[in-house]
Amino acid sequence: MLSYAHGACDQPLLGETIGQNLDGTVARYPEAEALVSRHQGIRYSYREFTDVVDRLACAMARGGIGKGDRVGVWGPNVAEWVLTQYATAKLGVILVNINPAYRTTELRYALGHSGCRWLVSAQECRGSDFTAMVAEVAPELPELERAIFFDTEEWEELAHGEVDGDLLRERASELDFDDPINIQYTSGTTGSPKGATLSHHNILNNARFIAGLLRYSSEDRVCIPVPLYHCFGMVIGNLACTSTGACMVYPAAVFEPQATLETCAAERCTSLYGVPTMFIAQLGHERFNDFDLRSLRTGIMAGSPCPIEVMRRVNDEMGIRQIGIAFGMTETSPVSTQVRINDTLEHRCETVGQAMPHTEIKVVDPASGLTQPRGEPGEFCARGYLVMRGYWNEPERTAEVIDPARWMHTGDLATMDADGYIRVVGRIKDMVIRGGENIYPREIEEFLYTHAAIADVQVIGVPDERYGEELMAWIVLRAGATLDAQGVREFCEGRIARYKIPRYMKFVDSFPMTVTGKVQKFKMREVAIEELGLEGAAAVATA
């Protein structure tokens, strides 16, 4: 039996734009709460939310912005961000998400590469002066006509202008659900960042199916501490809510464990999102037991591999019995597979679920491209409505990942079992080959997580002149715990194969990460090579 599965589904795909979908939700639930930005003291019903969205859209249109134009949005989790998301969608304007961690070089690249005409932005974030950075790069960007900052008179004029219903209807009549609506820049760990270009059809349908699998309704309140600039925030978060009438709840501008716990309790949230490190931070917070989390029933853990032990603790200690895993990438809108809430704890802990509705998935031999037998590891591929249109203005880079049959090649290593459940065993580029043995770091990470003293762990490969590569574990200890390298080795002896026991250990307080919580293993490798004096081994040429 081959590693191929299709998420057959009786529910048809939506053939509508994001603006049409939002208007339908407002018609059904006008007085339901749509948005709570707790740290800003902002609350909107769906009627109030769409009123501000329409005012902002009309102001943009009167300012000369229209279908196909690009508008950048740069800021943390604030109400202004999501208002911009839906206002641009109503006009067919392509929203360009800009990472709040960007500095001038990256900002200049994103704005210039996408050809943004406008930028709407926070004035600062975490002490970084966005206004100064914009002023620095703007003279080098002739296409950038206007920069508007939140909490200024200029922004207030945009957000509180007059609604022109005829203008909005005229603009809506020009739009098609396959139009591009969003550009999201990938992290760019090798080479310049790539602008994954997504359509209404891509992200709206993906969000609706995510919400359906979580059984969202207008009674749900979703705590969204993950960044809005990323698909996790704006699609799995915002769009999943607005497509079902659920409420978007922002606990803080950027992730704070205590603010997230306080918000879940105070707002009686029913769903909580996060990457594994966010859940670990909440579980380890000194005031964790002070918060009543009984309203939580479901949620999504995604963004990076989810340790089994962390999943069990979220289930048992946070009481989120229907916590699930969503797996995918920006280029697939983002979710390709998802655990169902009625799956067993084992499936929810040990797999990333089955194919999403209307989605094809397969596991192929990276060398030959042939579909692997069930149970054999290979590259995970996805096909269907969710695959991006391509990388913005880069057909050659698009062709490197989307083959002629429209399969998206993800670079993830996975296996598929007899029931179609996917287990991710690593990244093709992260796989360690030690003396001819293929080693998947995630397998070792999952084992080390079972040590009572270990709160978090990442395993990488470092160069070795004899074996080609050796294993190194970066370890974060639980508060108050003590452990040394010898203790780790003794824990491993006789329980995992000797060649899987890390040769090197590094005890740290945290890992180098992207703003979305993805561990940057390439940076860990660079640090390790320098600290361990492995420059010579790193320079050895390999086939």
DSSP for 165-204, written as a single string: HHHHHHHHHT--TTSEEEEEE---SSSS--EEEEEHHHHH
Sheet with 422-427, edge to edge strand ranges: 4-6, 359-364, 378-384, 408-416, 422-427
Residue 508, burial from CB neighbour count under 10 angstroms (0-12, 13-18, 19+): middle
Q: What is the pLDDT of residue 88?
A: 98
Residue 47, burial from CB neighbour count under 10 angstroms (0-12, 13-18, 19+): middle
Give, for all 543 residues of the chain, the pLDDT tens digit: 999 999 999 999 999 999 999 999 999 999 999 999 999 999 999 999 999 999 999 999 999 999 999 999 999 999 999 999 999 999 999 999 999 988 898 899 999 999 999 999 999 999 999 999 999 999 999 999 999 999 999 999 999 999 999 999 999 999 999 999 999 998 644 467 899 999 999 999 999 999 999 999 999 999 999 999 999 999 999 999 999 999 999 999 999 999 999 999 999 999 999 988 899 999 999 999 999 999 999 999 987 767 788 888 999 999 999 998 999 999 999 999 999 988 988 888 889 999 999 999 999 999 899 999 999 999 999 999 999 999 999 999 999 999 999 999 999 999 999 999 999 888 888 888 787 777 888 889 989 999 999 999 999 999 988 788 899 999 999 999 999 999 999 999 988 888 899 999 999 999 998 766 778 898 999 999 999 999 988 886 443
507: Cα separation from own chain's centroid:
27
DSSP letter at 13? Answer: P
CA distance 489 to 500: 10
Q: What is the pLDDT of residue 226?
A: 95
Q: What are the structure tokens assigned to 421, written together? A: 């459940």
Tell me the sheet residues that pair with 71.
95, 118
Taking alpha carbons only, the member of 330, 329, 320 closest to residue 299 is: 320
Q: What is the pLDDT of residue 435?
A: 74
Secondary structure class of 264 (helix, strand, coil) = helix
Secondary structure class of 7 (helix, strand, coil) = coil
- Say if strands 180-185 and 437-439 run parallel, antiparallel, or are unpaired: unpaired
Handedness of CA 42, 46, 47, 52 (dihedral sign): positive
Tell me the sheet residues that pair with 223.
249, 272
CA distance 33 to 171: 27
Q: What is the pLDDT of residue 433?
A: 78
CA distance 149 to 521: 35
φ, ψ of residue 57 in degrees (nearest 5): -60, -45
In the chain, where are the structural domains located? 18-416, 430-538
DSSP 321-381: TEEEEEEE-GGGSSEEEE--TTS-HHHHHH---EEPTTEEEEEE-TTT-PBPBTT--EEEE
Q: What is the pLDDT of residue 515?
A: 65
Contact at 8 Å (CB) between 201 and 329? no
- Say if strands 70-74 and 33-37 run parallel, antiparallel, or are unpaired: unpaired
Helix axes 200-213, 18-28, angle to 10 degrees: 40
Dihedral class, residue 47 (left if φ above 0, else alpha if ψ from -120 to 50, else beta):
alpha
Architecture of the structural domain at 430-538: 2-Layer Sandwich (3.30)
What residue type is 39 in one-letter code?
H
Q: What are the structure tokens assigned to 265, written together? A: 């309790």
Let me know how many helices (H) and strands (E) the chain has, helices first. Answer: 19, 28
Tell me the sheet residues that pair with 416.
422
The correct CATH number of 18-416 out of 3.40.50.12780, 1.10.3660.10, 3.30.200.20, 3.60.21.10 is 3.40.50.12780
Q: What are the structure tokens assigned to 510, written together? A: 């945290």
Q: What are the structure tokens assigned to 413, written together? A: 């290593």
- Say if strands 94-98 and 124-125 run parallel, antiparallel, or are unpaired: unpaired
CA geometry: angle 39, 44, 47, nearest 5 deg: 165
φ, ψ of residue 337 in degrees (nearest 5): -135, 150
DSSP letter at 513? Answer: B
Q: What is the pLDDT of residue 516?
A: 63
